[in-house]
Structure 1
Amino acid sequence: MESEEQASEPRTGGFRPQIESQKFSSENPFFIVKIMQDNLSRSRTTIPNAFFTKYFKKKQPNVKIQFENKLWPAKLLYYPSLYKAYISSGWQPFILPSNLKAGDVCVFELIKVEERVLDVHIYRADG
């Protein structure tokens, strides 16, 4: 696994989705994000800085989020002085159809480097 973002446990859900997501394995690069209420109310989610700088070019902001064979176009934001990167516009349209909730854990797998497609695997907090 390339890198991972960790956050404190939300009040909903438990450690099960986090433990299950740790078992994810792929030849493709991937990163893990635990969904917090902040990810749902804001229009972005974090990409680990090391992952962003290794696999994405700063001047190419377009990416596609894939879940259950559906694609959502999104934009990447990068703030080098803050060492922060985000999936921005396109994140909110993805939240509702994917039924994301606080406590879920998402594995973002880069399945097509040239086309910049991130396949999302969701480990549900509610089982």
Structure 2
Amino acid sequence: MAGVSFSDDKFPQFFKVFIPKFSSNHMLIPPAFVGRFISRVPKRVVIKDNSGKCWVVALVTVEKDLYFENGWEMFVRDQLLKFGDFLVFRYHGNSLFEVEIFGGDGCKKEIVVASPQVKVMVKEEEDTLKKKVPSSHAYNHAHIEEIGLDGSTKKSSSPTKHGQLKKNPCFVVTLEHSKCQVFMICIPQSVHKGVKFEPDMKLQYHNSKLWPVKISTWKDGRCFISSGWKKFRQENDLKANDKCKFELVLGEGNVCKEIKVTCQSKVQ
């Protein structure tokens, strides 16, 4: 649950109800709030509680939605957030949010545990800071297997060096309820190492029609099927617990223009 305040307070506000299933690793900022008050999205923001303690949190855009991401888990842990806690965010501009937290009883929560106060310079130049996202990123929580060139399967591991690949690399993902996985799928680094993706990619489902998608590559080397995945998943009625095989179809020079997708749980 979320809402946006347009009161006389000179600083715009929004509220969120904390639901661990959806908000433990990241939290969606209401799109109406973003569209009205955040004209330029910084890479990092500071969240300050009413005791003055601060947390630096990265902002991540997934299609048109904006999330509190890297650093959010620490905020949740330090604030001992529980199901039903009510959070009111006030945006001061220049990458600064203040937050007030109310418990399920309607009373403002007293801070029991908090991280040391972070001394930061809150300014828009923070856009130039290097974005660091740990390997424990929420989008990597899906069950992912790599299928070796010999047909064997194993958990994704560190990437290895490849020349011209003789066979198409593959991986398997068991889909989850995660909102983020509705919008993107992570391609294991050990699978896409050495692969060159075309700007306009296609997904082919069970050797039928083609769906246009985009491949997003992050600074830390991780790679995602992003724009277009949501429509592909919806139109092919892919749901949580479906086990999907992704095959990167390679041409000369390990150039990939197409990824074949097979839902193993729907193959007769």
TM range (shorter): 0.5 to 0.7
Cα separation, 1, equivalents of 2:209 and 2:142: 28
Q: Aligned pair 1:72/2:211, yes or no?
A: yes
* Contact 1:40–1:92 (8 Å) recurs in 2: no
Cα separation, 1, equivalents of 2:196 and 2:248: 10
Instruction: State, as a whole percentage, how many aligned pairs show the same letter.
Output: 29
2:188 to 48, 56, 59: 48
* Contact 1:104–1:124 (8 Å) recurs in 2: yes
Structure with the larger helix share: 1
* Contact 1:40–1:95 (8 Å) recurs in 2: no
Give matches, 1:1-127, under 5 Å. Answer: 7=142, 25=151, 27-38=167-178, 42-57=182-197, 60-68=198-206, 69-81=208-220, 83-113=221-251, 114=255, 116-124=257-265
SS in 2 for 1:116: strand
How many residue pairs align between the two structures? Answer: 107
Q: Which has the larger radius of gyration?
A: 2
C-alpha root-mean-square deviation of aligned residues, in Å? 3.3
* TM-superposed deviation, 1:39: 5.9
For 2:244, the aligned partner's letter is C
Cα separation, 2, equivalents of 1:91 and 1:109: 15
> Which ranges of structure 1 fall in alignment gaps of 5 or more residues?
9-17
Cα separation, 2, equivalents of 1:36 and 1:45: 11
For 2:231, the aligned partner's letter is P
For 1:92, the aligned partner's letter is K
- Return structure 1 stretches of 4+ with deviation > 3 angstroms: 5-8, 39-42, 112-115
* TM-superposed deviation, 1:98: 1.3
* TM-superposed deviation, 1:63: 1.4
Cα pair distance change 1:54/1:110, threshold 3 Å = same
TM norm structure 2: 0.34
TM norm structure 1: 0.66
* TM-superposed deviation, 1:29: 1.7
Cα pair distance change 1:121/1:6, threshold 3 Å = farther
